[in-house]
Amino acid sequence: MSNLVDIRDLNVRFTGERTVYAINDLNLSLGQGEVLGLLGESGSGKSVTLRALMRLLPKKRTAITGSIRVAGQDVLALDDEALSTFRGQTVSMIFQEPALALDPVYTIGDQIAESVMRHEGKSKREAMARALEMLEVVRIPSAKRRLDAYPHEMSGGMRQRAMIALALACKPKILLADEPTTALDATVQIQILLLLRELQREFGMSVIFVTHDIGVAIEICDRVAVMYAGQTIEQGSLRDIVREPQHPYAQGLLASTVHGAKRGARLETIPGAPPSLDAKPVACSFAPRCAHAQPRCSAGLPPEVALGPDRMARCILAEPAAAVG
């Protein structure tokens, strides 16, 4: 079985006034029909990973090394023509803020139709019919009328549905979702999550879902990769990560959620702040904040310890567990 997405030793460095080592030796894979969650805090490299996968990062200021293979294609080698076919048809993306991602001067119908005409060479009429079909798929009420609506005429939840319709219009194999429910109200968020779950099953898509909210990950993901300082520090099935996190950062992140905490009891916190990433990490990035840090942790990069099929933790503490298992 080959993976739909295979990212090996990916490094992304932003240059300019100051240099930021945003992604450092990242390995990630995505199987057919799988929903992978990228979980982490701001600056951990979740969104940069998605953007690198779609080659959306500004060329002049970004240095990318390593390999990204999607459905057998070498993404980093694609020319402009191939890239624009790749975007939309193979991989498509939805964003946190639909008001900014949609074009304010075109109607929803026109925007969806444009993408269908570009990728599938359909006529305007056929494309509009597809647009209508898509709006119905994402359950926008009175879809026919909404075809002629501009983004500003819709509510936040409706706009997010419209963006999903646009992203799925050409039946991409992979959907990249960058915190698509973060800006929504609670009762709308759950509707969008359930819709995405249903569409994923219906279309048989693979999804990479970026979120900082563990609750959201629980609702939608099959597998989770926890990110810190531009690396995945732990990967595994959703159940394993939620129930038995191995890496101290993953443990801290799960413990610091307020969910179910007793009133008056102190919340567990991770002391300190994430590193600034102005140099490439040469040791465990989490060691300065880690309660279990040993001299070894600051001496070199921690190994990727395999804890079972499809389960990994990048921490020396995981080694004994791997030996037993």
Where do contacts with another protein occur on this chain (CB under 8 A)? Answer: 41-42, 141, 155-158, 185-191, 193-194, 212-216, 218-219, 238-239, 242-243, 252-253, 256-261, 263-264, 266-270, 273
Write 129-134 long-range contacts (CB < 8 A, 24+). 130/169, 131/165, 131/169, 134/165, 134/166, 134/168, 134/169
CB of 194 to another protein, least distance (A): 6
Q: Which is nearer to another protein, 67 or 96 (CB)?
A: 96
* Shortest distance, position 230 Cβ to another protein, whole Å: 16
Q: What gap in Å lies between CA 140 and CA 158, rounded to an integer?
A: 7
- H helices of 90-142, in order, are 98-101, 108-120, 124-137
Rounded to the nearest whole angstrom, what is the least distance from the CB of residue 185 to another protein in the complex? Answer: 4
> Under a CB-based contact definition with an 8 Å cutoff, are residues 176 and 95 in contact?
no
In whole angstroms, the minimum distance from the beta carbon of 121 to another protein comes to 36
- Residue 308 and residue 245: Cα distance in Å, rounded? 14
Find out whether 317 and 246 touch, Cβ atoms under 8 Å: yes
Q: How far is the CB of 19 from another protein (least distance, A)?
A: 19
Choose between 16 and 141: whose C-beta lies nearer to another protein. 141
User: Closest CB to another protein among 169 and 193?
Assistant: 193
- Between CA 106 and CA 157 the distance in angstroms is 19
CB-nearer residue toward another protein: 10 or 253: 253
Task: Name beta bridge partners: 26.
Answer: 10
40 or 88: whose CB is closer to another protein?
40
H or E stretch at 160: helix 156-168
